[in-house]
């Protein structure tokens, strides 16, 4: 495990952002790419393509003066690595988005942030999920964990987001909360719950049923992923950590957060 709050961890987080950018570029070329486990000063990625007989693996490293794209294994087709390396060198290391604070919410309201993550490591896949509850601009509760059920793995991080919503509803039941605002970044969460999208998978069918039978009045608020919003950034971190390390946190361990995400009390917006 990479020590927290070290140069190696900061480089790994930069490599993760670079991997997300690179994956977006490869997706446009027909590749299916996923982010794997963090390593010292880097992050693993896996690549697949209809023309390839097997999945390829590589590591993105972030050094003091340059970034590197290093292939793993000997099963890379001739010439492909050079093509992808040239594409990689056209990227610029993205800078972290500034955090948007404070977390605004109406006085007396309850807000839940939810997120999910997907990680492949050593040929095993895990899905992370996390939620955090806020009242009066203060974090009051939350959990994170990982799942690896076969019916969930096909949905990747979306399954984690569904599971996070279900855990929020369990929290509402245990705390007699009948109204909640759920802030999310995957639009399907609200569409499946409201019936505007068809639930074709077993996992999404179960999700819709659990939301409908919960008895909780939900206000769905769509936010943009990775745009620096404070609450979203925190659950994103916990979901990725849970997926990568295959752990369950009955309480969110704030000590593992980067320093810029550790503040758990912010003032609600004036007049709200």
pLDDT tens for residues 6-20?
Answer: 676 777 778 888 888
Residues in the chain, overall count: 272
Closest to 8 measured CA to CA, from 46, 69, 88, 64: 64
Name all domains of the chain by residue range, CATH numbers in brackets.
7-88 (no CATH), 110-261 (3.30.420.10)
Residue pair 142/257 in contact (Cβ under 8 Å)? The answer is no
Q: Can the peptide bond before residue 198 be classed as cis, meaning omega within 30 degrees of 0?
A: no
Tokens representing residue 19 in the block: 């991997």
Return the higher-pLDDT residue of 120 and 271. 120
CA pair distance 72, 59, nearest whole angstrom = 7
Q: What is the dihedral of CA 70, 76, 77, 81, to 10 degrees?
A: -10
**Does the structure show a pLDDT above 50 at 271?**
no
pLDDT of residue 93: 57
Place of tokens 């896949």: 125
Q: What is the pLDDT of residue 230?
A: 87
- What are the CA-CA distances from residue 25 to residues 35, 58, 88, 182, 264 (Å)? 14, 16, 9, 31, 35
The pLDDT tens digits of the residues spanning 140-167 come to 999 999 987 776 666 778 889 999 999 9
pLDDT tens figures, 233-268: 899 999 988 988 889 999 999 888 888 888 776 555
| Residue 19: per-residue pLDDT | 84
Task: Give the pLDDT of residue 269.
Answer: 46
* CA pair distance 112, 65, nearest whole angstrom: 40
For the chain, give the DSSP string: -PPTTSHHHHHHHHHHHHHHHHHHHHHTTT-EEEEEEEETTEEEEEEE-TT-SS-EEEEEEE-SS-EEEEEESS-PPTTHHHHHHHHHTT--PPPPPPPB-S----TT-EEEEEEEEEEEETTEEEEEEEEEEEETTEEEEEEEEEE--HHHHTTTHHHHHHHHHHHHHHHHHHTT--EEEEEES-THHHHHHHTSS---SHHHHHHHHHHHTS--EEEEEE--TTS-BHHHHHHHHHHHHHHHHT--BSS--GGGS-GGG---B-PPPTT-
Tens-place pLDDT, residues 182-237: 999 888 999 999 999 988 788 889 999 999 999 999 999 998 766 668 899 899 99
Quick check: 42 and 90 in contact, CB under 8 A?
no
Q: What is the pLDDT of residues 79-131, one digit of tens each?
A: 898 888 888 888 765 555 565 555 788 889 999 999 998 877 666 778 899 99
pLDDT at 166: 97
Considering only residues 225 and 55, tell me which one the structure prediction assigns the higher pLDDT: 55
Half-sphere exposure for 4 (CA within 13 Å, toward CB) = 9
CA distances in angstroms from 212 to 39, 193, 224, listed in the order given = 41, 7, 25
**Token pair 């594409």 in the structure block, residue:** 87
């Amino acid at each position: 495990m990479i020590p927290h709050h070290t140069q190696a961890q900061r480089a790994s987080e930069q490599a993760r952002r670079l991997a997300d950018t690179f994956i977006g570029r490869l997706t446009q070329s027909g590749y299916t790419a996923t982010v794997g486990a963090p390593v010292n000063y880097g992050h693993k990625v896996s690549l697949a393509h209809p023309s390839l007989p097997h999945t390829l693996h590589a590591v993105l490293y972030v050094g003091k003066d340059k970034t590197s794209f290093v292939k793993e294994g000997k099963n890379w087709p001739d010439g492909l690595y050079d093509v992808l390396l040239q594409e990689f060198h056209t990227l610029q290391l993205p800078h972290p988005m500034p955090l948007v604070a404070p977390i605004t919410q109406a006085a007396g309201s309850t807000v839940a942030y939810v997120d999910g993550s997907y990680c492949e490591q050593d040929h095993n896949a895990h899905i992370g999920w996390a939620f955090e509850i806020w009242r009066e601009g203060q974090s009051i509760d939350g959990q994170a964990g990982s799942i690896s059920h076969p019916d969930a793995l096909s949905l990747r991080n979306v399954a984690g987001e569904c599971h996070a919503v279900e855990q929020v509803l369990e929290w509402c039941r245990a705390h007699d909360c009948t109204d909640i605002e759920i802030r999310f970044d995957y639009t399907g969460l609200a569409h499946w719950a409201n019936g505007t999208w068809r639930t074709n998978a077993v996992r999404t069918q179960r999700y819709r049923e659990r939301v409908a039978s919960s008895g909780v009045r939900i206000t769905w608020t769509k936010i943009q992923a990775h745009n620096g919003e404070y609450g979203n950034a925190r659950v994103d971190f916990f979901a990725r950590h849970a997926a990568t390390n295959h752990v369950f946190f009955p309480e969110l361990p704030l000590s593992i957060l980067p320093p810029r995400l550790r503040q758990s009390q912010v003032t609600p917006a004036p007049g709200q």
